[in-house]
Protein backbone atom coordinates (compact mmCIF):
# COMPACT_ATOMS: atom_id res chain seq x y z
CA UNK A 1 0.00 0.00 0.00
CA UNK A 2 1.35 3.39 -0.90
CA UNK A 3 1.35 6.29 1.48
CA UNK A 4 -1.05 8.28 -0.69
CA UNK A 5 -3.86 5.71 -0.69
CA UNK A 6 -5.10 6.68 2.75
CA UNK A 7 -4.99 10.33 1.68
CA UNK A 8 -7.06 9.49 -1.41
CA UNK A 9 -9.57 7.75 0.88
CA UNK A 10 -9.89 10.96 2.91
CA UNK A 11 -11.10 12.78 -0.21
CA UNK A 12 -13.69 10.07 -0.77
CA UNK A 13 -14.87 10.26 2.86
CA UNK A 14 -15.14 14.04 2.62
CA UNK A 15 -17.17 13.89 -0.60
CA UNK A 16 -19.44 11.30 1.04
CA UNK A 17 -20.01 13.84 3.86
CA UNK A 18 -18.78 11.40 6.49
CA UNK A 19 -16.09 13.66 7.95
CA UNK A 20 -15.82 16.27 10.68
CA UNK A 21 -12.94 18.75 10.42
CA UNK A 22 -11.51 21.18 12.93
CA UNK A 23 -10.45 20.63 16.51
CA UNK A 24 -13.60 21.87 18.26
CA UNK A 25 -16.05 20.02 16.00
CA UNK A 26 -14.05 16.79 16.19
CA UNK A 27 -13.84 16.97 20.00
CA UNK A 28 -17.63 17.44 20.16
CA UNK A 29 -18.12 14.51 17.77
CA UNK A 30 -15.82 12.35 19.92
CA UNK A 31 -17.87 13.18 23.03
CA UNK A 32 -21.09 12.26 21.21
CA UNK A 33 -19.45 9.07 19.92
CA UNK A 34 -20.11 10.17 16.31
CA UNK A 35 -16.64 9.38 14.96
CA UNK A 36 -14.97 6.00 14.38
CA UNK A 37 -11.44 7.27 13.71
CA UNK A 38 -9.54 10.51 14.33
CA UNK A 39 -6.49 11.80 12.45
CA UNK A 40 -4.22 14.53 13.78
CA UNK A 41 -1.54 16.18 11.66
CA UNK A 42 2.06 15.64 12.79
CA UNK A 43 2.56 19.41 12.88
CA UNK A 44 -0.41 20.09 15.18
CA UNK A 45 0.45 21.96 18.36
CA UNK A 46 1.38 19.83 21.37
CA UNK A 47 -1.66 21.22 23.16
CA UNK A 48 -4.01 20.13 20.35
CA UNK A 49 -2.43 16.67 20.14
CA UNK A 50 -2.70 16.16 23.91
CA UNK A 51 -6.33 17.36 24.05
CA UNK A 52 -7.53 15.23 21.12
CA UNK A 53 -5.48 12.14 22.03
CA UNK A 54 -6.80 12.28 25.61
CA UNK A 55 -10.40 12.58 24.38
CA UNK A 56 -9.94 9.66 21.96
CA UNK A 57 -8.35 7.60 24.71
CA UNK A 58 -11.18 8.36 27.14
CA UNK A 59 -13.92 7.56 24.61
CA UNK A 60 -11.98 4.60 23.21
CA UNK A 61 -11.74 5.93 19.65
CA UNK A 62 -8.70 5.01 17.52
CA UNK A 63 -6.51 7.99 16.74
CA UNK A 64 -3.46 8.42 14.52
CA UNK A 65 -0.95 11.24 14.21
CA UNK A 66 -0.22 11.13 10.50
CA UNK A 67 0.64 13.50 7.66
CA UNK A 68 0.98 17.27 7.90
CA UNK A 69 -1.73 19.91 7.93
CA UNK A 70 -1.13 20.79 4.28
CA UNK A 71 -1.45 17.21 2.98
CA UNK A 72 -4.56 16.55 5.13
CA UNK A 73 -6.18 19.73 3.82
CA UNK A 74 -5.19 19.02 0.21
CA UNK A 75 -6.60 15.48 0.48
CA UNK A 76 -10.08 16.90 1.07
CA UNK A 77 -9.71 19.88 -1.26
CA UNK A 78 -9.57 22.45 1.53
CA UNK A 79 -6.99 24.70 3.15
CA UNK A 80 -4.83 23.30 5.95
CA UNK A 81 -6.54 20.88 8.35
CA UNK A 82 -5.09 19.76 11.69
CA UNK A 83 -7.77 17.41 13.03
CA UNK A 84 -10.09 15.15 11.01
CA UNK A 85 -12.78 12.82 12.33
CA UNK A 86 -14.15 9.96 10.22
CA UNK A 87 -17.83 9.30 11.00
CA UNK A 88 -18.41 6.18 8.92
CA UNK A 89 -17.11 2.95 10.51
CA UNK A 90 -16.51 1.31 7.11
CA UNK A 91 -14.37 4.21 5.89
CA UNK A 92 -12.62 4.34 9.26
CA UNK A 93 -11.72 0.64 9.09
CA UNK A 94 -10.40 1.01 5.53
CA UNK A 95 -8.27 4.06 6.32
CA UNK A 96 -6.97 2.36 9.45
CA UNK A 97 -5.93 -0.70 7.41
CA UNK A 98 -4.12 1.57 4.93
CA UNK A 99 -2.26 3.43 7.68
CA UNK A 100 -1.26 0.46 9.84
Residue 48: closest CA among 23, 85, 26, 73: 23
Q: Where are the domains of the chain?
A: 3-99
Cα angle value 21/23/25 (rounded, 5°): 60
34: Cβ contacts below 8 Å, ≥ 6 apart:
20, 85, 87
Q: What is the pLDDT of residue 4?
A: 85
Helix, strand or coil, per DSSP, at residue 83: strand
Domain at 3-99, CATH homologous superfamily: Ribosomal protein L30/S12 (3.30.1330.30)
pTM to 2 decimal places: 0.94
In the predicted structure, residue 2 carries a pLDDT above the cut 60:
no
Mean pLDDT of the chain: 95
Q: Spell out the alpha helix ranges (H) of the chain.
A: 3-15, 23-31, 46-58, 69-75, 89-99
In the predicted structure, residue 21 carries a pLDDT above the cut 70:
yes
Amino acid sequence: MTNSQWLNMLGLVYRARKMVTGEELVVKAIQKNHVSLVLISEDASDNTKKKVLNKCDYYNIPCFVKGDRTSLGRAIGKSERVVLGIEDSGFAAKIRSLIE
